[in-house]
Amino acid sequence: MILIYLLKVSACTALFFGFYMLVLRKFTFFKINRFYLLATMMLSFIIPVLQFEVKREITMVETEAPVNIPEIKPTDQAPQLIQPVMEYQPMVKHKLNWMMVLYYVYGTTALFLLLVCLWRLFSLLKHTNRYTKNGYGLKLIIKTEGFTNCSFFNYVFINNVDLSATDLSVLLKHEQVHTRQYHSIDKMMLMVFKSILWFNPIVYLYDKALEQVHEYEADEMTSTDYGNEAYANLLLKLAITKSHTPLMHNFVKSPIKDRIKMLFTAKSKKMKKLTYLFAIPVALGLIWLFAVQVVYAQNIKDEGKPSKDLYEGALKGKVLNIKKETIGLYTFDLLSNGKVYPIEANTFKEKIKVGDELVVYISGKGFNIKKTDRSGKVIAETNGLIYSATKVTTLTGSLIYEQKIENHAFLYEANKARSASSKIKSIEKNVNGKIEKIVLNDGLFTINLNLKAQNILNNYLKIGDRVLVKFIGEKLVSKNTYTTDKMIVLYSEPKKYIIKNEALYNRFYFNDGKQKVAVVKNEAAKVSGPVEPKIISFKKMTGDVKHKVSYMENAVIDISNCRLEARYVELDQANNKMIAKNASLKNSKQNVMVKSDLMTFDLKKGDYRIDIGDETKTGKLYPNR
């Protein structure tokens, strides 16, 4: 993101310039100071784009804490009783994209300032048509008003009124130094930097400091030939002359008091040049802060294998065909980088055609849908894996489709534990280095984990780490902010380390990570009939009357006192089967229990199966009462 990059650049300029003001400014090494200011300004743009990885090995930390909670007993059939659902009322919110507003404001201002720079440059060059050349290669232009007694490259603008021959000689010597040292190039560079970082006050201080160094350097070399006192008198004489063109060097634009004071300042000792080496730790610190990423080496045995059907990223390609699968699902084949990707298109098939060039964003696992008869025999299925698009645009960026995602602080598991994926915002430790509190924030919701009682000593967690946490006993303390002192387990994402509350973990999970689910009293009776789903709403429905199969888009369905919301649903009434794609299952309080790219319901048996990442989980349904 360009704005984040520019903020990092601004932070670099602030630290580099702070070091200059505190340490280097009073030295009389003007050439070195000039090099430092230019080099650090350019380094400020380079450092944030550097990328280095540092690997750090970490170990698993487990903790035990005595927590008194009711014992939860495992059961093979794991029903979850959920209360009747609340009325569903869809709401569409239109939000102003403030990030795009910032982009437009920044870009418009930067472009305007760059155009102003060009206008000033052309305005200046208009005065360079007529000149006389002296013996030192300077092109002299006589002017009596506007910007005078100043230079731009080897063009020198002179107001020779009231100037003696000696004064004119001193002035030309001074401007000759600016010309030979190419100070005008520095000025043009700073004009560009100020246009890019117009919001950063430090860049204007850089410009002022660099111009001051230019004048010190020219004053030093000129006063060597004419003497400090005579040169200082000329500075005072011409002090009333000013230049209004920031691209030029004016003989007396820089503060006269500082320049005269520097003329009579004793030269800095050569040993003080070693002080400039202290700028290296400043640069290394900024590189560590903005360019180094710490990667933690995995030391937990990973039994899972990378999924070949998992893809995440943007695909740019051409639509080869649009077809209807045997199960009723519409898909299209996208040719991208020599490979063909089948992509589900039920909700936007009317907006695309064969030959269209699209950008398709995919984030998730490919899926395969099978249709079975009463005996469980597969009678139809999709032809290979199909991917789900989260966003589809044209090559020019015009939006065709975008998946709407609901935000939730956490999900409810079947064992009633809460599960959330987030990032570490802060870590609080006591004097002994043990963690007392971890604050998680995913950009919208905050979860405070109070861990003082768990006696955790861990030096591997750091701010910014992405983690998966499971817990119970949360309290809503303010809007979008929860707090709990009953964390069950915390994993890094991907799993490279783990912090576990052994006492709580053993009550909610088996050793292999499977959930323990409480047996609900008075619900041990077997299901006497199939679960009957109740259709609440849908955007579009088609059907196969002969086989009693309905296909729905953007459907809301009540099922077993739960609410199912899915982008695509196939309801097979003849075989008591239902398939939901890009779906979430909510309880009566509208809390999301599970989310999955694919859910398969066996209405006769009263259970369901979900795919989450590389895991497959099952759950139990109850018939509507």
Query: DSSP secondary structure string, 413-458?
Result: -TTS-EEEEEEEEEEEE-TTSEEEEEEEE-SS-EEEEE-GGG-EE-
User: Could you report the per-residue pLDDT of 26-56, keeping only the tens digit for each?
Assistant: 899 999 999 999 999 999 999 998 877 666 5
How high is the pLDDT of residue 240?
55
Highest-pLDDT range among 62-76, 123-137, 174-188 = 174-188
Half-sphere exposure of 549 (CA within 13 A, CB side): 19
Separation of alpha carbons 206 and 520, rounded Å: 71
Please state the rounded mean pLDDT for residues 500-517.
86
Token pair of 319 as six digits: 């639509």
Type of residue at 169: S
Higher pLDDT, 570 or 292: 570
What integer pLDDT is reported at residue 53 of this predicted model? Answer: 67
Across residues 385-412, what is the average pLDDT? Answer: 84
First and final C-alpha spacing in the chain: 52
At 93-108, the pLDDT tens digits run: 556 778 888 888 999 9
Question: Cα separation of 223 and 265, whole Å?
Answer: 13
The per-residue pLDDT for 592 is 75
**What is the C-alpha separation between 199 and 196, in angstroms, rounded?**
8
- What backbone phi and psi angles, to 5 degrees, belong to 126? -65, -25
* Tokens read off for 500: 């576990």
Whether 560 contacts 624, CB under 8 Å: yes
Highest-scoring range by mean pLDDT, 33-47, 241-255, 297-311, 520-534? 33-47
- CA–CA separation, 249 and 150 (whole Å): 5
User: Is pLDDT at 287 greater than 60 in this prediction?
Assistant: yes
The torsion angle over the Cα atoms of residues 247, 253, 254 and 258, rounded to 10 degrees, is 170
Residue of 205, 155, 150 lying closest to 15 (CA atoms) = 205
DSSP 8-state code for residue 464: T
Residue 305 binned pLDDT confidence (cut-offs 50, 70, 90) = very low
What topology is assigned to 534-620 in CATH? lipopolysaccharide transport protein A fold (2.60.450)
% of the chain surpassing 90 pLDDT: 29
- Mean pLDDT over each residue of the chain, to the nearest integer: 80
Residue 125: CA count within 13 A, CB half-sphere: 6
Token reading at 555: 């459907």
Instruction: Judge contact between 378 and 384, C-beta under 8 A.
Output: no
Q: Is the CA virtual torsion 572, 578, 583, 586 positive or negative?
A: positive
244 vs 190, more confident? 190
Asked if the model's pLDDT at residue 300 lies above 90, the reply is no
Burial class (CB in 10 A: 0-12, 13-18, 19+), 611: middle
ω into 255 cis (within 30 of 0): no
pLDDT value of position 471: 95
Q: pTM to 2 decimals?
A: 0.46
Q: Where are the domains of the chain?
A: 2-58+270-295, 61-94+408-508, 98-263, 310-396, 534-620
Taking residue 352's Cβ as centre, other Cβ atoms within 10 Å add up to: 18
Tell me, what DSSP letter sits at residue 494? S
Range in 232-236, 300-304, 616-620 with the lowest mean pLDDT? 300-304
Same fold, 310-396 and 534-620: no
Give the mean pLDDT of 520-545: 67
Task: Calculate the CA 422 to chain-centre distance.
Answer: 14
**CA 198, 199, 201, 206 torsion: positive or negative?**
negative
The yes-or-no verdict on residue 76 having pLDDT over 50 is no
- Note whether 530 and 603 are within 8 A (CB): yes
Look up residue 78 and give its two tokens.
Answer: 């794991």
User: Encoding tokens for residue 324?
Assistant: 């209807």
Q: How far apart are CA 454 and CA 499, in angstroms?
A: 10
Q: Which of 156, 157, 187, 162 is nearest to 41 (CA)?
A: 187
| Across 149-158, 164-173, 296-305, 543-552, least confident range | 296-305
Of 593 and 579, more confident? 579
**pLDDT greater than 70 at residue 82:** no
| Whole-angstrom distance, CA of residue 456 vs CA of residue 500 | 10
Most confidently modeled of 61-75, 142-156, 191-205, 222-236? 191-205
Q: Which residue has the higher pLDDT, 143 or 319?
A: 319
> Mind listing the pLDDT tens digit for each residue in 475-490?
999 999 999 999 999 9
Q: Is 256 helix (H, G, I), strand (E, B) or coil?
A: helix
Q: Which residues contact 596 (CB under 8 A, 6 or more apart)?
A: 583, 584, 610, 611, 612
- Count of other CB atoms within 10 angstroms of residue 609: 14
Q: Measured between alpha carbons, how far is residue 245 from residues 117, 121, 125, 143, 250 in Å? A: 10, 9, 12, 14, 9
**Looking at domain 61-94+408-508, which of 2.20.130, 2.30.30, 2.40.50, 3.40.50 is its CATH number?**
2.40.50
User: Counting every residue, how long is the chain?
Assistant: 625
pLDDT range class, residue 622, cuts 50, 70, 90: low
CB 449 within 8 A of CB 484: yes
**What pLDDT shows up at residue 606?**
82
Closest C-alpha to 213, from 386, 407, 383, 37 = 37
d(CA 563, CA 541) in angstroms, rounded, equals 18
Question: CATH assignment of 310-396, given 2.40.50, 3.40.50, 2.60.120, 2.60.40?
Answer: 2.40.50
In this predicted structure, the answer to whether residue 124 has a pLDDT above a threshold of 90 is no
Q: Higher model confidence: residue 41 or residue 613?
A: 41
Kindly indicate the confidence band of residue 88, based on its pLDDT and cuts at 50, 70 and 90.
Answer: very low
Counting DSSP H helices and E strands in the chain, the numbers are: 10, 34
60 pLDDT above the threshold of 80: no
Q: What is the pLDDT of residue 447?
A: 96
Strands 446-450 and 481-484, by their bridges, are parallel
Tokens of 95: 């939000």
Cβ neighbours for 473, distance < 8 A, ≥ 6 positions apart: 484, 485, 486
The pLDDT assigned to 250 comes to 57
